């Protein structure tokens, strides 16, 4: 391949940005249409989509202070740290959400049978049922069902019950099978009492249906859990501010459910705090009778001892010892109660537990020292001190227990927990659909797709769009024939029954019907160019061929012959396409007799030359379809006929099949000194045209020039593409 060919190939494969931009301008209305179509679809989607709302509530979890009947235990065990993650887990637990399901009966689902696609939109807009939809099962916007009671056996949970409105009352269906009828306002039983139903109101047209279902409790809990989100509202972890979020399509249901979650969380927290006080109160209630019995026994022993000795007076030292005994025993008793409480929460090795044990050992040591001092007193005095000590200590402890019991009663009644509901649930806004965003995205999608479609089509289209592309291949362009409406009207689609194929057929002469058409003017320009080309030729025969079918060879030959005839030239047009030639249809003639009949020896040359009704214009049709067209064209009768026709007419035009499809043009071209190669706008790539010229030149036929046919009046250009061109032509 030489340098010029390489340069041309590089130009053909280069993407021309200018051409791409011009192609977008050429198809601007297509782009606008597709963009508006997608924008409309986006708008419809935004209107039909079910609105999803979001509700939020705010709760605070404060530091938890321990409730103790034994004074301020905080100094012993310390305050509990705020455990926000644990509270979040409690909020999302089945314990809390299960109570919400039971409280709001969220396991009961009542749904209308909606219209496909637009059902939710119809209900939201409260669109009434049209008359032509009466009797259909779908529920419309002005129809409703009021269920006062719906009970379903546990073994039937998950089954969908259908309730259908009748003229009188309603009927119940299970799996589309009727199981009974009921009256509105009455308690009805179905399925052997597995289903108990009472419908207070059924405002719907006969045939309308509602679905009733009682889902499993775990499924209802899972539904709430999947829509519930809990986030920490404050960046400070110790703040304990929790934001509760929930999404759904029913704003009323959202606020009720979220409020129920917050209230249930608060209630269980209060109950948990109250349970701690209740546990301590029960412990003290168990201890109080025993202390009362011990106090009575101590008083009896002291009285008996005093009565036996008549009277024993206590000096100040003995009184002080007794007071000290009371103080130490009271403190020791409190520590024993505290140890019982700590044993439920910590192991003996815990620092808090060890601190309490150290305090108890210290008190016990002080009590032993006090016992040693008392043992130094007289025996009678010692006994009185011990008896008085037992009575006073027991009495002090008993009174302390009674006081603590009263305090716990008050604490239990006034327990508020460490959870506060700061903000009740409110609908904060619409989560989806974002109609504005959908409209913008749909519009952008339509714009991108339409632009991409145009650019892809332009990139895949490799047909020539300008004469310069053909001339760059070394073939002079004699004329560019614009595509006109008249040309289109004269072309009809004809189907061949035998072959099952169709072909565009010219059914008239445009130069005669619309002589002022732009295409005809271009053909006249071609006539002028050919006039000088014929002067250089050895004969007056012109062959018209193309690289592929459907390029407009027959149209060009018919009208070129007509304009030559209008110029006073005696012209004959030969339809040398013995397979699929349809030139005779342009003049309302039969195909036979024609060229194939003459070549096969069935008639003479004069028999096949027929007038067209146009002065100086004659035509030779193809004749009967021959099984061996190439062999017929190779006979000597063809050369003799062409020589005779050249003497009889001023110009002989030969319309041949496409050169890349069959070899007929190679045979006929040897008898014609002037050969025109026809290419169609945006159909034939440059390399296909070059391949057609190469095949003709290999047969010794010189291509004088080319004609670019059916040029559309737009400024875009295109580059060529070369592939393997082999057309089936039969």
Backbone angles phi, psi at 327, to 5 degrees: -65, -45
| Residue 7 pLDDT | 52
Across the chain, mean pLDDT equals 82
The answer on pLDDT for 717 being more than 50 is no
Q: Give me 669's structure tokens.
A: 């071209």
Counting runs of H as helices and runs of E as strands, what totals does the chain give? Answer: 24, 22
pLDDT digits (tens, 9 = 90+) for 550-608: 888 999 999 999 999 999 999 999 999 998 888 998 899 998 899 999 998 899 999 99
Residue 411: burial class (beta carbons within 10 Å; 0-12, 13-18, 19+): buried
| Residue 486 pLDDT | 81
Distance CA 159, CA 150 (A): 13
H-helix segments, 14-93: 17-26, 28-48, 74-77, 84-91
The answer on pLDDT for 397 being more than 70 is yes
Return the H-helix or E-strand segment holding 306. helix 251-308
Backbone angles phi, psi at 402, to 5 degrees: -60, -40
Check: CB of residue 665 under 8 Å from CB of residue 703: no
Return the H-helix or E-strand segment holding 571. strand 571-575
Report the sign of the C-alpha dihedral through residues 612, 614, 616, 617, in that order.
negative
pLDDT band for position 525 (cuts 50, 70, 90)? very high
pLDDT digits (tens, 9 = 90+) for 237-289: 556 788 999 999 889 999 999 999 999 988 887 777 666 666 666 677 777 78
Distance CA 115, CA 124 (A): 13
Give the list of residues 6+ apart from residue 664 with CB closer than 8 angstroms, or none. Answer: 576, 577, 578, 629, 630, 633, 656, 657
Distance CA 383, CA 376 (A): 12
Say which CATH class 467-711 falls into.
alpha beta
Percent of the residues in the chain that have a pLDDT greater than 90, as a whole number: 36
Q: Which residues of 275-307 are buried (b: 16+ CB within 10 A; e: fewer)?
A: ebbbebbebbeebeeebeebbeebeeebeebee
For CATH 3.40.50.300, list the domain ranges present in the chain: 467-711
Backbone angles phi, psi at 179, to 5 degrees: -120, 0
pLDDT band for position 721 (cuts 50, 70, 90)? very low
How far apart are the two ends of the chain, measured CA to CA in Å? 34
| Residue 504 pLDDT | 73
Strand, helix or coil at 512?
helix
The answer on pLDDT for 725 being more than 50 is no
- For tokens 């340098």, the residue is 3
Check: CB of residue 520 under 8 Å from CB of residue 510: yes
Strand, helix or coil at 652?
strand
Q: How far is CA 591 from the centre of its chain?
A: 60
Nearest to 482 by CA among 492, 468, 467: 467
| Residue 335 pLDDT | 79
Report the sign of the C-alpha dihedral through residues 129, 131, 137, 138, in that order.
negative
Q: What is the mean pLDDT of residues 373-385?
A: 64
Distance CA 673, CA 534 (A): 8
Nearest to 171 by CA among 215, 137, 216, 120: 137
pLDDT band for position 76 (cuts 50, 70, 90)? very low
703: which DSSP letter? -
| 195 Ramachandran zone, left/alpha/beta (phi>0; psi -120 to 50) | beta
Check: CB of residue 664 under 8 Å from CB of residue 631: no
Cis-peptide, bond into residue 593, ω within 30° of zero: yes
The answer on pLDDT for 668 being more than 70 is yes
């Amino acid at each position: 391949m030489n340098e010029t060919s390489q340069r041309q190939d590089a130009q053909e494969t280069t993407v021309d940005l200018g051409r791409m931009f011009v192609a977008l301008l050429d198809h601007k209305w297509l782009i606008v249409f597709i963009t508006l179509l997608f924008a409309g679809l986006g708008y419809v989607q935004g209107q039909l989509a079910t609105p999803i709302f979001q509700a939020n509530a705010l709760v605070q979890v404060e530091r938890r202070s321990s409730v103790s009947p034994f004074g301020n235990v905080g100094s012993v065990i310390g305050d509990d740290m705020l455990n926000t993650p644990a509270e979040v887990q409690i909020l999302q637990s089945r314990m809390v959400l299960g109570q919400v399901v039971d409280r709001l009966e969220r396991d009961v689902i009542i749904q209308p049978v909606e219209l496909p696609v637009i059902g939710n939109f119809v209900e939201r807009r409260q669109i009434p049922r049209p008359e032509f939809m009466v009797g259909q099962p779908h529920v419309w916007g002005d129809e409703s069902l009021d269920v006062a009671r719906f009970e379903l056996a546990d073994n039937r949970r998950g089954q969908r019950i259908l309730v259908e409105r009748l003229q009188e009352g309603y009927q119940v269906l299970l799996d589309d099978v009727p199981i009974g009828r009921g009256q509105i306002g009455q308690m009805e039983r179905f399925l052997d009492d597995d289903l108990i139903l009472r419908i207070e109101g059924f405002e719907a047209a006969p045939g309308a249906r509602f679905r009733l279902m009682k889902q499993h409790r775990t499924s209802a809990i899972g539904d709430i859990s999947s829509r519930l989100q809990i986030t920490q509202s404050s960046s400070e972890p110790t703040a304990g501010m929790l934001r509760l979020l929930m999404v759904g399509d029913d704003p009323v249901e959202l606020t009720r459910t979220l409020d129920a979650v917050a209230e249930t969380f608060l209630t269980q927290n209060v109950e948990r705090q109250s349970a701690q006080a209740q546990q301590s109160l029960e412990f003290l209630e168990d201890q109080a009778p025993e202390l009362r019995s011990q106090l009575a026994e101590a008083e009896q022993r002291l009285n008996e001892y005093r009565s036996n000795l008549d009277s024993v007076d206590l000096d100040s030292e003995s009184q002080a010892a007794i007071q000290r005994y009371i103080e130490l025993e009271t403190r020791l008793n409190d520590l024993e109660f505290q140890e019982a409480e700590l044993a439920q929460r910590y192991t003996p090795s815990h620092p808090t537990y060890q601190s309490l044990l150290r305090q108890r050992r210290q008190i016990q040591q002080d009590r032993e020292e006090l016992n040693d001092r008392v043992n130094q007193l007289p025996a009678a005095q010692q006994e009185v001190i011990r008896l008085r000590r037992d009575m006073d200590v027991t009495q002090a402890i008993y009174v302390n227990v009674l006081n603590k019991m009263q305090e716990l009663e008050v604490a239990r009644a006034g327990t508020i927990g460490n959870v506060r509901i700061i903000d009740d649930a409110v609908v904060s806004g619409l989560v989806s659909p974002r109609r504005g965003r959908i409209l913008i995205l749909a519009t952008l999608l339509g714009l991108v797709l339409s632009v991409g479609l145009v650019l892809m089509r332009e990139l895949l289209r490799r047909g020539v769009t300008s004469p310069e592309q053909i001339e760059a291949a070394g073939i002079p362009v004699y004329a560019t024939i614009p595509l006109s409406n008249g040309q289109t009207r004269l072309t009809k689609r004809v189907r061949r029954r035998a072959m099952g194929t169709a072909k565009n057929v010219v059914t008239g002469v445009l130069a005669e019907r619309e002589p002022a058409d732009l295409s005809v003017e271009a053909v006249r320009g071609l006539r002028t160019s050919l006039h000088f080309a014929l002067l250089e030729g050895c004969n007056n025969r012109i062959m018209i061929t193309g690289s592929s079918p459907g390029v407009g060879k027959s149209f060009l030959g018919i009208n070129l012959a007509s304009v030559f005839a209008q110029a006073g030239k005696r012209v004959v047009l030969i339809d040398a396409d013995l397979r699929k030639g349809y030139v005779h249809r342009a003049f309302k003639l039969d195909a036979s007799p024609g060229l194939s009949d003459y070549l096969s020896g069935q008639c003479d040359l004069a028999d096949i030359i027929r007038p067209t009704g146009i002065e100086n214009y004659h035509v030779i049709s193809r004749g009967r379809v021959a099984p061996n067209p190439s062999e017929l064209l190779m006979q000597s009768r063809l050369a003799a006929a062409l020589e005779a026709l050249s003497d009889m007419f001023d110009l002989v035009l030969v319309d041949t099949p496409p050169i890349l499809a069959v070899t007929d043009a190679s045979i006929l071209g040897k008898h014609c000194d002037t050969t025109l190669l026809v290419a169609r706008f945006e159909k034939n790539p440059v390399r296909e045209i070059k391949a057609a010229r190469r095949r003709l030149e290999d047969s010794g036929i010189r291509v004088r020039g080319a004609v670019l046919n059916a040029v559309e009046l737009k400024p875009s250009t295109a580059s060529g593409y070369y592939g393997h061109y082999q057309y089936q032509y039969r």
